[in-house]
Amino acid sequence: MTAEAAARVGVSHTARFSPAWVAERLQGAVLHVAVISLTVAWMVPAAGLLISSFRHFTDINQSGWWTALAPPYNFTLENYVQVLQSSNMGQSLFNSFMITIPATLIPVTIAAFAAYAFAWMKFPGRDWIFLALVGLLAVPLQLSFIPVLKVFVSIGLVVQNWGFVGVWLAHTGYGLPFSIYLLANFFRALPSDLFESAEIDGAGTLTVFFRIVLPLSVPAIASLVIFQFLWIWNDLLVALIYVGGTKSVAPLTVTLANLTNSLGQGYNLLTAAAFISMLVPLIVFLSLQRYFVRGILAGSVKG
């Protein structure tokens, strides 16, 4: 090795262990530890709920859930069997799907068309209308419960006559402002050259929307679907107002709230019922999580 090469190795070695390099590595290590700690902190309650749902009632009363991780293992499926057979959970699960799926697809579909209009079409009052929609995000939805419910009752739009149509429309109205805002910001970040080229080629508005905008907006739409689905699936207040607590039409959240009152001493059954309600959102989120971060960050920075 020549003297010059040795000098370069020495300089590189010195720079590698310089105070700036050590500070950068230390900062990265602290960040990783913080993220891992927060992740574990969020996962511990879910893990405790899952383990408790497979334990006997006497075991739950005598020891903490973490003791079940050591032998002898004494897990059982009896809690799930009893909950599904005796508490109308099967019908409630079906009702939750019947409410959540249409109430997710309807606002997302309407918001996609509206966001495209706000982002790339010119019409009188566009900016003011969009500003009004953004302002609706700050309005508490509780203010609309009594007026909207009175309108539904006056026109006969109740569960007994129209099924879940009323709650679909309510969730659509509550979800549209945020949906339009999120998608409009994403659509504005799309390259304008695409639209100019499509216009030169003679593509119409619907062709541009279905052939260009929607395929490029899958991350944002998937993120919106996650938000809307989780919000509606976990909703209790809106469902209780517009659907009620009748067993035949009650969604999962209403049934769980009733079980809390009737099974106050049956903690083992409540844990099983709660984990059933968590399972579907977990599946939806994990199946679409690769689009989630991309969709949230999209539109925040152009380029």
Selection from 100, 67, 181 nearest residue 135 by Cα: 181
Looking at the structure, tell me whether residues 71 and 183 fall in a common domain.
Answer: no
292 in any annotated domain: yes
Looking at the structure, tell me whether residues 53 and 161 fall in a common domain.
Answer: no
203: left (phi over 0), alpha (psi -120 to 50) or beta: beta
Looking at the structure, tell me whether residues 175 and 112 fall in a common domain.
Answer: yes
Looking at the structure, tell me whether residues 58 and 85 fall in a common domain.
Answer: no
Residue 297 is predicted with a pLDDT of 58
Looking at the structure, tell me whether residues 172 and 144 fall in a common domain.
Answer: yes
- Integer Cα distance of 213 and 190 in angstroms: 8
Tell me the CA distances in angstroms from 265 to 68, 270, 272, one per residue in order. Answer: 21, 9, 14
- Integer Cα distance of 230 and 103 in angstroms: 11
Residue 9 is predicted with a pLDDT of 46
User: pLDDT tens digits, the chain, 303 residues: what are they?
Assistant: 555 554 454 445 555 667 777 777 788 788 888 889 888 888 888 888 888 888 888 887 787 788 888 787 788 888 888 887 777 788 888 889 999 999 999 999 999 999 999 988 888 888 899 899 888 888 888 888 889 889 888 888 887 777 888 899 999 999 999 999 989 988 888 888 887 788 787 778 888 888 888 888 888 888 888 889 989 998 888 888 888 777 788 888 888 888 776 655 567 778 888 888 888 888 887 877 777 666 555 544 444
Selection from 222, 235, 252, 243 nearest residue 83 by Cα: 252
Domain end residue (candidates: 42, 58, 78):
78
Domains in the chain, number: 2
253 in any annotated domain: yes
Does the pTM surpass 0.85? The reply is: no
Instruction: Answer whether the bond into residue 45 is a cis peptide, omega within 30°.
Output: no
72 in any annotated domain: yes
Looking at the structure, tell me whether residues 17 and 155 fall in a common domain.
Answer: no
Looking at the structure, tell me whether residues 222 and 275 fall in a common domain.
Answer: yes
94 in any annotated domain: yes
101 in any annotated domain: yes
* Residue 50: domain span: 3-78
Looking at the structure, tell me whether residues 174 and 262 fall in a common domain.
Answer: yes
250: domain CATH number?
A: 1.10.3720.10
Tell me the CA distances in angstroms from 240 to 46, 60, 280, one per residue in order. Answer: 26, 31, 20
Looking at the structure, tell me whether residues 122 and 35 fall in a common domain.
Answer: no
Domain end residue (candidates: 55, 78, 101):
78
Looking at the structure, tell me whether residues 265 and 136 fall in a common domain.
Answer: yes
Residue 301 is predicted with a pLDDT of 45
Selection from 282, 270, 251 nearest residue 86 by Cα: 270
- Integer Cα distance of 246 and 224 in angstroms: 30
Residue type, 94: F
Looking at the structure, tell me whether residues 67 and 199 fall in a common domain.
Answer: no
Residue type, 151: V
Looking at the structure, tell me whether residues 64 and 98 fall in a common domain.
Answer: no
Tell me the CA distances in angstroms from 162 to 66, 243, 278, one per residue in order. Answer: 48, 11, 28
Domain end residue (candidates: 53, 78, 103):
78
303 in any annotated domain: no
302 in any annotated domain: no
Residue 97 is predicted with a pLDDT of 92
Residue 236 is predicted with a pLDDT of 87
210 in any annotated domain: yes
